Amino acid sequence: MILCVQRALLSEPPSVMVARTVSMQSDGNDREESDSHESQVVSTGPCSLPNATQHSKQWDPAKDLCCITTTFQHLHTSGWYWGAISASEARDALLGTSEGTFLVRDSSHPLYMLTLSVKTCQGPTNVRIEYSDGRFRLDSSSPAQQSLLSFPGVPSLVQHYVGSGRREDEVKAEAPIIKDNAILLKLKYPLHRPHTFPSLQHLTRLTINRHTALPACLPLPRRLLNYLQDYPFQV
């Protein structure tokens, strides 16, 4: 069953993602048909205004190559990047998990590289991730698309929404909200791929990143500081 959002202003916390689709079905079709059930973000905040000179910039293939390569390096290190799996495989992996559990996988759509799959209160759903001019953001068909926050990499995008969900939970614990036929997507728990659970070193790095904003200033050997800088994220 697919429910679409009515295009109206939502009075929800500013950093909550609103999905256009609340569930996806596994009908045994191929990846392309399964991925047609992917959600689109309708509204987020706070907003960043588009740069008026952005469209006049010339395409820099070297910049794109560096940005995409770095992002995939970080994704492979994260443990929650599942690579080339289908929408139905992502659904099966998320079915028995808690609400807010998520993974990132390759998108089967020819115009997108990656898709975010997340377990909501009404089942697993998908949101494609757009890439443009060295920035990543969640896919949206909303007129406010250009005002959605964008990030230099997918891990930083995911970290932003995970952090937003945690801050909202600290302010007010509440049941999942459904408003205007939309389901709110809250990222909470990364789902690591089987047999690729993070090493103790990586888990220690995540803990350090969560407790200090400037890990490079810690009194550690240069080799350890370089290791921290190789993955400067908290999730």
On whether residue 167 sits in a domain, the answer given is yes
State the virtual CA torsion across 139, 142, 147, 151 in degrees, nearest 10: -10
Residue 127's pLDDT band (cuts 50, 70, 90): very high
Measured distance between the N- and C-terminal CA atoms of the chain, rounded to whole angstroms: 31
Q: Are residues 87 and 172 in the same domain?
A: yes
Classify 41 as helix, strand or coil: strand
More confident residue, 198 or 38: 198
More confident residue, 150 or 41: 150
> At 107, which amino acid appears?
S
Tell me the C-alpha distance between 71 and 75, whole Å: 6
Contacts of 230 (CB under 8 A, 6+ apart): 77
pTM above 0.85, yes or no: no
CATH number at residue 210: 1.10.750.20
Q: Are residues 203 and 97 in the same domain?
A: no
Instruction: Please check whether residue 118 is in contact with residue 189, taking contact to mean a CB–CB distance below 8 angstroms.
Output: no
Q: Are residues 118 and 162 in the same domain?
A: yes
Tell me the C-alpha distance between 185 and 118, whole Å: 8
| Residue 137 domain boundaries | 17-44+59-195
113: number of Cβ within 10 Å: 16
Q: Are residues 180 and 225 in the same domain?
A: no
Classify 68 as helix, strand or coil: helix
CATH number at residue 168: 3.30.505.10
Instruction: Please check whether residue 63 is in contact with residue 163, taking contact to mean a CB–CB distance below 8 angstroms.
Output: no
Q: Are residues 176 and 206 in the same domain?
A: no
Q: Are residues 26 and 88 in the same domain?
A: yes
Closest CA to 207 of 181, 176, 231: 231
Q: Are residues 141 and 181 in the same domain?
A: yes
In the chain, how many domains are there? 2
- Tokens 């399964």 identify what position? 34
pLDDT score at 207: 95
186: number of Cβ within 10 Å: 25
On whether residue 212 sits in a domain, the answer given is yes
pLDDT value at 143 more than 90 = no
pLDDT value at 89 more than 60 = yes
